[in-house]
Amino acid sequence: MDPTQLRTVTRIPHLTYHPRIAALLLLLILGMDSAWAVSMTDDPKGFRDILWGTILSSRQDVEPFRSSTHVIEYLPKTDSLSFADTQMTSILYLSVDNQFARVTIRYQGSNVHKEVLAYLETRFGRLDRIPGQMTRGLTQQYNWRGSDTEINLTYQAGTERGYIFFDSRTLAPRFNDYITDSAE
């Protein structure tokens, strides 16, 4: 071969195997056994007849609980802490820039979780369970998406705690705009 035809060969660095990274990835995969997303069959466009974007400060059925510059949390005044015909630990209504954007519901117990999940499936759409997927695990996540509303349910089996978020798909992303490391 003619020396002028020799090319410079670039070496690709050798990738090394890191057992710690592999172990961490394995734990993450095992820890989150289920996650489904379902198209919502009947978008509520809000929560309990309060439409997304409503000015909560003008309503008589909620009272301010905690506030910052852009986010105000409200507690229901007359509404019991029930959802899906089951007692919840807490229900909070949140506004961002004075517009109703999210409801956060907390509950406790595996029986309550079964009731909540059955209600959400009946009201908003059956989950697509793929054969071989686990419906039980350390952390279970379920998601329903409508045109205006997104519902996220997370259940932690170890502590038997559940969290449900009803979010306005257009307003709730604004919460992320106000998350900072320092107080406003």
How high is the mean pLDDT of the chain? 81
Q: Which residue in 165, 168, 118, 113 sits closest to 139, CA to CA?
A: 113
Average pLDDT over residues 31-51: 76
Residue 34 has pLDDT above 80, yes or no: no
- pLDDT for the residue numbered 45: 96
Give 128's pLDDT tier (boundaries 50, 70, 90). Answer: confident
On the question of pLDDT at 36 being above 70, the answer is no
pLDDT higher than 60, residue 15: no
Whether 124 has a pLDDT exceeding 90, the answer reads yes
Do 143 and 150 meet the contact criterion of CB atoms below 8 Å apart? yes
Average pLDDT over residues 106-125: 95
Spell out the residues 6+ positions from residue 86 whose beta carbon is closer than 8 angstroms to its own.
107, 112, 115, 116, 119
Return d(Cα 84, Cα 137) in angstroms, integer.
23
What is the Cα–Cα distance from 77 to 91, expressed in whole angstroms?
11
- Is 70 exceeded by the pLDDT of residue 30? no
pLDDT > 80? residue 59: yes
Confidence check: pLDDT of 136 > 70: no
Average pLDDT over residues 148-176: 94
pLDDT on residue 175: 86
- Give, in order, the Cα–Cα distances in Å from 131 to each of 39, 102, 127, 134, 135: 19, 33, 12, 9, 10
